[in-house]
Amino acid sequence: IQDKEFDVIIKSNFQKQEEKKIKMKLAISTLVLAVSGVSAFTAPSGRTTSSIVNMADSTMEEEEPIAVPQLPEMSQSMPFMARPGMLKGEMAGDVGFDPLGFVKSEQDLMIYREAEVKHARLAMLAAAGWPLSEVFDKKIASGLNLIPVVDASDRAPSVLNGGLGKVSPVYWVVCLVAAAAIDFIGISKSRGNEPGYFPGNFGFDPFGVYPKDKDGQMWMQTAEIKNGRLAMIAITAFAVQEFVTKSGVVDETPLFFFPLTKTLNEYANYGYIQ
């Protein structure tokens, strides 16, 4: 009987120890869970915060759409008219001027720009050569014992002024050959799809003044086309002015072409200066 009681006591003590172990494990588990739950509601460290912010910023930068410049609805040159669809401002001097709607496609745009550049360059040469011929033609012809091409009123030969028959046929042949050669080069380059080619680009830059950067190149192209357009207007005005006034351009504006003393002396003789 004593042995049985002893065994019962031992078993009860063992059970109590096991219950204590189980309670201890439960307490430790509860403490761990409590600590982890509190840490979930505490502020993260500075390094973690900065990394999260950086990730958010990078995500925003990646997802931010690139702003595409909107094309104006109205023409810059004629604000009361809608901008032509093919004129997108990508070419130098493009101000949306096509009131009659000649340009229907990209090919049309390239053809018209090629023609405009050629006429602009020719007009710049003519706008300089016209008055210079009226100033020096008689002097050069007198020195070479030739007949002057300008008439008695110092007017240069033109369709309106007449006098084109005085020009040597050799001159016209040279002009036609040179124009045909330049046109052939331009057509070959435009159809050859050469890299970097744009209308009027013949690669002619003997003094190396053409800029290397894109902004400088666009500025140079814009300056050329604007001066060329002005020259086309000027050469037309020269012809009309001389036809109407029956007087040479240099005689109408002598301040630009003759010495100041000579001009003032003539003005005094005419009574403009008392």
Contact 75, 83 (CB under 8 A): yes
Helix (H, G, I), strand (E, B) or coil at 21: helix
Q: How far is CA 143 from CA 139, 146, 148, in A?
A: 6, 8, 11
Q: What is the 8-class DSSP label of residue 162?
A: B
Weakest-pLDDT range from 48-57, 186-195, 255-264: 48-57
Query: For 188-247, what is each residue's pLDDT tens digit?
Result: 887 777 777 888 888 888 888 889 899 999 999 999 999 999 999 999 999 999 999 999
Contact 166, 157 (CB under 8 A): yes
| pTM for the full predicted model | 0.68
Query: For 131-188, what is each residue's pLDDT tens digit?
Result: 999 999 999 999 998 889 998 888 999 999 888 888 889 999 999 999 899 888 888 8
Contact 248, 137 (CB under 8 A): no
CA dist 89 and 94 (Å) reads 5
The CA R_g of the chain, rounded to the nearest whole Å, is 44
- Under the banding of pLDDT at 50, 70 and 90, the label for residue 99 is confident
Weakest-pLDDT range from 49-58, 88-97, 204-213, 225-234: 49-58
Length of the chain: 274
CA dist 201 and 196 (Å) reads 9
Computed over every residue of the chain, the mean pLDDT equals 79
Contact 200, 112 (CB under 8 A): no
Q: What is the 8-class DSSP label of residue 150?
A: S
Burial class from Cβ neighbours inside 10 Å (0-12, 13-18, 19+) for residue 110 reads middle
- CA 141 to chain centroid, in Å, comes to 46
Residue 36 has pLDDT above 70, yes or no: no
**Buried/exposed code over 221-246 (b: 16+ C-beta within 10 A; e: otherwise):** beebbebbbebbebbeebbebbeeee
- Under the banding of pLDDT at 50, 70 and 90, the label for residue 258 is confident
Residue 84 has pLDDT above 60, yes or no: yes
Cα atoms in the 13 Å half-sphere on the side-chain side of 175 = 9
Q: What is the pLDDT of residue 41?
A: 43
